[in-house]
Amino acid sequence: MSAGLQIWDANGNIVLDATYRVMRIIGVQSIGNGVGGSVVDDAFVQGGWVSFQPSVMIGEGYLSGGVIVPRFSISGNTLTWSYAAKNNGTYDIYQNGILYYGAF
């Protein structure tokens, strides 16, 4: 009998095996105010992911102007994010929120 982690569903199908790669969170960071940034971690080389959770949902309380959300990119071991420039300084706002990032 072999040893290891295996999880089955109700029909007897394997849904998780010890050989599978599972997503894990590397870090969490608050971002916003139009300020870009980066995180360097060698775990991104294996395959990285990001999840941005806005502090305010788009459309809530905004009567005019645009909401500028961050853009994310992973290259090698570096995650970067940036915001586009405002079209109208009076009405456009930058979306603030929490950035979760991780690797497979």
pLDDT tens for each residue of 37-70: 999 999 999 889 999 999 876 555 555 667 888 9
Q: Is residue 89 part of a domain?
A: yes
Q: Is residue 77 part of a domain?
A: yes
Strand duo 78-82 + 37-40: pairing: antiparallel
Q: Is residue 11 part of a domain?
A: no
Q: Is residue 42 part of a domain?
A: yes
In whole angstroms, what is the distance from residue 22 CA to residue 20 CA? 6
In whole angstroms, what is the distance from residue 24 CA to residue 20 CA? 12
Kindly state the average pLDDT of the residues 66-93. 88
Domain ranges, residue 52: 21-103
Q: Is residue 48 part of a domain?
A: yes
Helix (H) or strand (E) holding 7: strand 6-8
Q: Is residue 80 part of a domain?
A: yes
pTM over 0.85: no
Grouping H, G, I as helix, E, B as strand and the rest as coil, residue 77 is: coil
Q: Is residue 98 part of a domain?
A: yes
Q: How many domains does the chain have?
A: 1
Residue 17 has pLDDT above 90, yes or no: no
Nearest to 104 by CA among 38, 52, 44: 44
Q: Is residue 69 part of a domain?
A: yes
- Structure-block tokens of residue 67: 């909401």
